[in-house]
Structure 1
Amino acid sequence: MDRSELVELLSPEGLRLLDSLPPYRSQKDVLAMVTDLRKQGHSPRLVAAVLTQAKLRKKAVGKFGEFASRMLFTEAGLEQATRLSVAARHAGRFRAAGLTRVADLGCGIGGDALALAALELEVTAVDADEVTAAIAAFNLAPFPSATVEHRRAEDVSLRAIDGVFLDPARRTAGHTDTDRLTDPDDYTPSLGFAYELATGRSVGLKLGPGFDRDLIPSTAEAQWVSADGQVVELGLWFGALARSGIRRAALVLRGDEANELTAEADSEDAEAGDLGEYLYEPDGAVIRARLIGDLARRLDGRMLGDGIAYITADAPVATPFAAGFRIVETLPFAEKDLRKALRARGIGALEIKKRGVDVDPAALRTRLKLAGDRPATLILTRVAGRHTALLAERL
């Protein structure tokens, strides 16, 4: 979306047209909608803009729920936007720390600023891209405590600000077809700028979950967040926003339920031991936070092997921090023998999980050519250093 398209979209005609559209269903319906809207006399540019927004609103429901139907987006802005359930927890940190005037530097389409404003905190949302800043202003219009500025984060005066949140752009410039940046020095604003701000200030910094752990300052609380099984971010928290005695945290969100595993530092792995009747696959946030050892001790379990992020135990334990499986039996690892064993058991729908072995689960599933009517889980890993296939069922 360029500036002229945005101007047309934000016109009274454009917004009325967007809100009058039926919910976006599929690409198949687009041609008919384009023809209909053009017959009504709407310009090709406006038609393209409103249909793009309708498509993005549907896609945004996963992050923003019912609020998505009243928001505007860019493709890149939605891709990087914080989902509402996570943004609410960001905002809660600022409120709990007693910080009331927050600058959201690199606000994007305004997801985090929305959550901050919803708690009636004063928010100055800033973005260097003119179109993105205009969209953030539209999304934040219902909140009198929020203002939006189109400028570089480095140029913002923070004299009246007592807390800062940064979500640096980690993709190349533009609103569609952007590429992920791998060098933190190329972020906008840069990682160096963010770390400098965090010296002596209360700062929250959102990064990708795969961020290089060696670049995490010792003064920061590092919290990895997973939502419905997907690790979505690493948050670094400084000053009053960092909790006392916590430097590593794994926050696991599933629906409305939240659970957190915390520690003062990376945990030592539990000792490796024999395969028990039960196996646990830690949530990705627990693995990223390197708290697998602490989780194993909570489960009265042991590591399946050095460098393998599976925990095994002799009794079932309910935990929000791992998926649990009961081991039904050990099968041959060789593909030909494995295929024969699975067919003999009537297994057709197969979930394949693997750690510590070089296997492509999707390709293996195709080659197995199973046709039974029973579902099962196959876990491919190493036990006592040997490649092993475990037939399992989810707890």
Structure 2
Amino acid sequence: MEIESFRALLTEQGQALLAELRGFTADQELALATRLRREYPAELVRAAFEQARLRQRAEAKFGADAASMYFTQHGVEQATRRSVAEWRAGRFAALGVERLADLCCGIGGDAIALARAGITVLAVDRDELTCEVARANAAALGVAELVEVRCADVADVDTNGFDAVFTDPARRTSRGRVFDPEAYSPPLSWAVEAARRTPFGALKVAPGIPHELVPEGAEAEWVSDRGEVKEAVLWFGTAAAEPYRATLLPGPHSLAGGALPDPPVGPVGRYLYEPDGAVIRGRMVAEVVASVNGRLLDPMIAYVTSDELHPTPYAQAYELSDVLPYNVKKLKALVKERRIGTVVIKKRGASVVPEELRRQLKPSGPNAVTVIVARTAAGPVMMLGQPAGLAM
């Protein structure tokens, strides 16, 4: 979208057109576009339809806010999910932050969450269209008085006098994702120094960042939302007692750790626990093992087993009915015998393709089962069971 087209959407005519497109569906598009082009300039109609589609896509991240917000294609893909942004803003507010520089602010998702938490924000981005969108979003959601949007290179921004800096570097180029943190824009080393220049700092990084790249003195936090890992953040100035944290949303549930020794390994018990992805990324499986009085199935696989059932928000528990050596023919017979029509397949450390295995099983019937295939010291096993319902 060109910046002139976006500005046209903010006019009275553009707002009227966007209002007409609220809730439109794909099957209505042709007839609706034909009619609207008789009433509005063709370029404005095109821009409005693009914006309406982006708002529909953004609803998964922003909920009801999306209907009033503005987006770019890149902005929808890269913006922080509202629940995650609100969690981070809450952490900043709890630290006593009142004034924050949001570097690489994008369309303003984090800036809005920070402002809603009562923090005054300087939101900086070097792309002019992105800044226009961020400014419009702050106004649309009623926090413009707390958010100053500045179009500039973040390297030119003086952060003296701010309580905190939050940096969300670009981790994509025209060629795709960037995996080397020094190839971020700005690079990881620059962002770390920026975070250390204020009392508090946070730096968003890819969830797969190697632990050895976590700077000394930083707290690394992995955040998941409804079981899906969304991001990792390096925090500075928090004086955290533990180096790693896993935060699960909604909740929130936050587990700090990373200092326990490697947990024991042993045979499969009555219950199997599958830790949340944020726990696994943060290498805090040992904390889950300790909390359920359990053990690992294999030293390199994040499946925890126990003879006891313990409620924990950090892992999904399964009560096992069968633990057998992995054998497709035997599994197929069990599925048929028990009239199982719904099969959820999970696997770790085993060369199993869930979709292919499901086709081989030919499930049919009213019952359901979870099949977990995993490597153990005794060889690959298949564990059949049901969710125990104690994930919180």
The TM-score normalised by the length of structure 2 is 0.93
User: Given that residues 195 and 203 in structure 2 are in contact (C-alpha distance below 8 angstroms), is that contact kept between their aligned partners in structure 1?
Assistant: no
Of 180, 187, 196 in structure 1, the residue corresponding to residue 184 of structure 2 is 187
User: Given that residues 268 and 294 in structure 1 are in contact (C-alpha distance below 8 angstroms), is that contact kept between their aligned partners in structure 2?
Assistant: no
Question: What is the aligned partner in structure 2 of residue 356 from structure 1?
Answer: 349
Equivalent residues in 2 for 1:1-395 (5 A)? 1-25=1-25, 27-40=26-39, 42-141=40-139, 142-143=142-143, 144-172=145-173, 179-201=176-198, 202-239=200-237, 242-254=238-250, 257-263=251-257, 265-331=258-324, 333-395=326-388
AA matched with 2:115: A
TM-superposition CA deviations, 1:296-342 (whole Å, max 9, x none) = 11101111111110110112111110011011113452223322221
Q: 1: distance between equivalents of 2:329 and 2:299? A: 28
TM-superposition CA deviations, 1:179-226 (whole Å, max 9, x none) = 222222222222121012133432111122112222111210011011
Q: 1: distance between equivalents of 2:341 and 2:270? A: 24
Q: 2: distance between equivalents of 1:77 and 1:139? A: 12
SS at 2:375 equivalent: strand
SS at 2:182 equivalent: helix
SS at 1:54 equivalent: helix
AA matched with 1:217: P
Q: 2: distance between equivalents of 1:385 and 1:33? A: 64
Please provide the CA RMSD for this pair. 1.7
Q: 2: distance between equivalents of 1:29 and 1:168? A: 39
AA matched with 1:305: D
Q: 2: distance between equivalents of 1:185 and 1:358? A: 34
The TM-score normalised by the length of structure 1 is 0.93
SS at 2:311 equivalent: coil
Q: 1: distance between equivalents of 2:98 and 2:5? A: 36
The 3 A distance-change label for structure 1 pair 24 and 221 is farther
User: Given that residues 269 and 294 in structure 1 are in contact (C-alpha distance below 8 angstroms), is that contact kept between their aligned partners in structure 2?
Assistant: no
Q: 2: distance between equivalents of 1:182 and 1:45? A: 38
User: Given that residues 259 and 320 in structure 1 are in contact (C-alpha distance below 8 angstroms), is that contact kept between their aligned partners in structure 2?
Assistant: yes
Q: 2: distance between equivalents of 1:103 and 1:273? A: 49
Worse overlay, 216-225 or 160-169: 160-169
Tell me by how many angstroms 1:92 deviates: 1.9
Q: 1: distance between equivalents of 2:259 and 2:57? A: 36
User: Given that residues 242 and 259 in structure 2 are in contact (C-alpha distance below 8 angstroms), is that contact kept between their aligned partners in structure 1?
Assistant: no
Worse overlay, 139-148 or 222-231: 139-148
Q: How many residues matched? A: 384
Runs ≥4 residues deviating over 4 A: none
SS at 2:71 equivalent: coil
AA matched with 1:218: E
User: Given that residues 164 and 195 in structure 2 are in contact (C-alpha distance below 8 angstroms), is that contact kept between their aligned partners in structure 1?
Assistant: no
Q: 2: distance between equivalents of 1:55 and 1:33? A: 14
User: Given that residues 305 and 385 in structure 1 are in contact (C-alpha distance below 8 angstroms), is that contact kept between their aligned partners in structure 2?
Assistant: no
AA matched with 1:373: P
The 3 A distance-change label for structure 1 pair 24 and 384 is farther
User: Given that residues 331 and 338 in structure 1 are in contact (C-alpha distance below 8 angstroms), is that contact kept between their aligned partners in structure 2?
Assistant: no
AA matched with 2:50: T
SS at 2:176 equivalent: coil
AA matched with 1:10: L
User: Given that residues 269 and 292 in structure 1 are in contact (C-alpha distance below 8 angstroms), is that contact kept between their aligned partners in structure 2?
Assistant: no
User: Given that residues 274 and 304 in structure 2 are in contact (C-alpha distance below 8 angstroms), is that contact kept between their aligned partners in structure 1?
Assistant: yes
Q: 1: distance between equivalents of 2:333 and 2:38? A: 61
Determine what percentage of the aligned residue pairs are the same residue.
41
AA matched with 1:16: A
Worse overlay, 60-69 or 99-108: 60-69
User: Given that residues 14 and 48 in structure 2 are in contact (C-alpha distance below 8 angstroms), is that contact kept between their aligned partners in structure 1?
Assistant: yes
